[in-house]
């Protein structure tokens, strides 16, 4: 891997995992229990569960692009949001988190193995690096919302601490 691609790859991986401007993403999610994940505040449009499912939806969608595929856009953005407020059980919730975190690791693997500035054939004007940057920024945006919801429910900081380490 050429030096500039390696430097960009390393930066993307840190951003994808949450090692730059905030705590690691997994630290903000792994201790959340099912009840908190589906807990609703009337003034907020979604729950933590809905946010993580939404993040996973777009992460999976963009990972397909980063790998050279062309997934079909949903007919409406509402399709990327689950209707249900929370999971049916703790096991389902753990699986939702695992799926999301596995997607982050898949993105990190792509960042380490592809030419990040190569144009994507099925998305003209975009590159794998740009798609991975999009995943990192989308996840970071919604992670902030998750942290805020946790604060509103007095469920912050997590046991790992609330700031980067």
* Nearest in space to 150 (alpha carbons), one of 52, 36, 49: 36
pLDDT tens digit string along 91-120?
A: 999 999 999 999 999 999 999 999 999 999
Question: What does 37-70 look like in DSSP terms, one character per residue?
Answer: HT---TTSS--HHHHHHHHHHHHHHHHHHHTT--
Fold of 3-152: 1.20.120
Helix ranges (DSSP H) in the chain: 3-17, 25-29, 34-37, 48-66, 90-113, 128-152
Whether 143 and 51 have beta carbons less than 8 Å apart is answered as no
pLDDT tens digit string along 106-155?
A: 999 999 999 999 999 999 999 999 999 999 999 999 999 999 999 999 99
Mean pLDDT score across all residues of the chain: 94
pLDDT at 4: 73
């Amino acid at each position: 891997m050429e030096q500039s691609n390696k430097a960009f790859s390393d930066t993307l991986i840190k951003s994808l995992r949450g090692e730059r401007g905030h705590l690691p993403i997994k630290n903000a999610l792994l201790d959340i229990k099912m009840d908190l994940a589906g807990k609703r505040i009337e003034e907020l449009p979604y729950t933590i569960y809905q946010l993580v499912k939404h993040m996973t939806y777009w992460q999976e969608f963009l990972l397909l692009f980063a790998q050279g595929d062309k997934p079909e856009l949903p007919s409406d953005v509402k399709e990327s949001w689950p209707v249900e407020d929370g999971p049916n059980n703790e096991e389902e919730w753990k699986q939702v988190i695992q799926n999301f975190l596995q997607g982050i690791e898949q993105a990190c693997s792509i960042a380490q193995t592809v030419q990040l500035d190569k144009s994507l054939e099925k998305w003209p004007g975009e590159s794998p690096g740009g798609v991975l940057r999009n995943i990192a920024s989308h996840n970071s945006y919604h992670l902030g919302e998750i942290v805020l919801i946790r604060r509103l429910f007095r469920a912050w900081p997590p046991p790992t601490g609330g700031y980067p380490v």
